[in-house]
DNA sequence: CACTGGAAAATGCCGC
DNA sequence: GCGGCATTTTCCAGTG
């Protein structure tokens, strides 16, 4: 069985620690979000509806981003180069 | 370590076989789909654009399905019962 | 905007239909598999363990062994015990 | 259609803003973690093995052992090679 | 052959 | 406590 050099081993430990630290922070935020929903619910809001609203707002943003991707794909499919693309946008 | 009764063991084997068989069939279909895209590409179609189109068509369907889900959630949030829901739909 | 020739357009439609049909069949199989797991569970089997088993069976032994060797080295470097090591694969 | 009181409406907006802010922070952390893995990979570590290690470290040993016991029984019933065997080959 | 994006699988959570 | 659902994570094909 192979063994890592002392230095590499040390490096590995640092990486693992860093990632685990970041994941802890991430989990804390996940919990905070959960708390917010619970709080909202206890104030009389419907948590599920709230989630739906927030997810819709996010999708709106994502959609806008993706719309350009679709346009790019179709333009490519029609043989238009990025250069023409710039022009067609400028001409609108 | 525990051992399964002969009958249970047999049952387990059957289940595993069945699932693996279904997964094989599923994989075959996945390959068929891949072939279709390759075929389309070789006929001059842009595969990526094709995928986009099909994914959009699927999303349209999903959206319609989800729209009702959203309505349900909001109706619930507003305290409307399923019974009222039926009525509101009938009244459109 | 470019327009497809009638014939090409027809061809495109056929392709889209075929792919969507294949995807429907694929989805049906996915549902069948889900049913099998549910059925197994209701007969007393542990669905999660079942999934793990099936996933293991479809893995190439050599690949798995190689990957485990790397994990082994990392675990050793981090001072993790053999006991944890033995169960690692199953615990995913 | 029901309308929210001005005050309630204001409250709703605050909640949505807070949640969206938390989700932004969470996403930033997700990206940081991804970066860490990429960095580790570019230093010569096996990212997949790294992920597995970290996932193992965060699991409860008792739970893991129990689940493995079930898998063990199933493997035996199916005539699969016990994990220990694989490990003795890969280790040392 | 490494990277990226998209599909599939696994996990965890919420409601009954 | 279980089933359904949403999120997260993993995997894999396609691309440069």
Give the global pTM: 0.88
Return the closest nucleotide (C1') to the Cα of B31: F13
CA distance linking residue C48 with residue D71, whole number of Å:
9
Bigger pLDDT: D68 vs C83:
D68
Query: Å between C5 CA and F1 C1'?
Result: 60
Q: What is the pLDDT of residue A91?
A: 61
* Contact assignment for C68 to D86 by CB distance below 8 Å: yes
| DSSP for A18-63, written as a single string | HHHHHHHHHHHHHHHHHHHHHHHHHTT--HHHHHHHHHHHHHHHHH
Q: What is the pLDDT of residue D44?
A: 95
Residue whose CA lies closest to nucleotide F3 C1': C38
Copy the structure tokens of residue C35: 């049913």
B-facing residues of D in 46-85 (CB < 8 A) are 69, 72-74, 76-78
Return the closest nucleotide (C1') to the Cα of D58: E11
Query: Å between D27 CA and F5 C1'?
Result: 22
CA distance linking residue A86 with residue B48, whole number of Å:
21
**Range with lowest mean pLDDT among A38-42, C15-19, C79-83, D51-55:** C79-83
Angle between the N-to-C axes of helices A47-77 and A6-42, in degrees from 0 to 180, rounded to the nearest 10:
120
* Contact assignment for C56 to D80 by CB distance below 8 Å: yes
SS3 A82: helix
Angle (nearest 5°) at CA B59 between B58 and B65: 100
Task: Give the model's confidence band at D91: pLDDT under 50 very low, under 70 low, under 90 confident, else very high.
Answer: very low
B2 touches chain D (CB under 8 A): yes
Shortest distance between the Cα of C8 and any Cα of chain A, in A, equals 14
- C50 CB-contact burial (10 Å; exposed 0-12 / middle 13-18 / buried 19+): buried
pLDDT tens by residue, A12-64: 999 999 999 999 999 999 999 999 999 999 999 999 999 999 999 999 999 89
């Amino acid at each position: 069985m192979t063994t890592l050099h002392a230095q590499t081993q040390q490096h590995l430990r640092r990486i693992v620690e860093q990632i685990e630290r970041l994941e802890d922070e991430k989990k804390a935020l996940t919990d905070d979000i959960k708390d917010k929903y619970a709080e909202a619910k206890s104030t009389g809001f419907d948590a599920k509806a709230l989630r739906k609203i927030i997810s819709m707002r996010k999708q709106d943003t994502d959609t806008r981003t993706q719309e350009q991707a679709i346009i790019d794909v179709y333009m490519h499919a029609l043989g238009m180069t990025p250069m023409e693309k710039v022009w067609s946008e400028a001409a609108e």
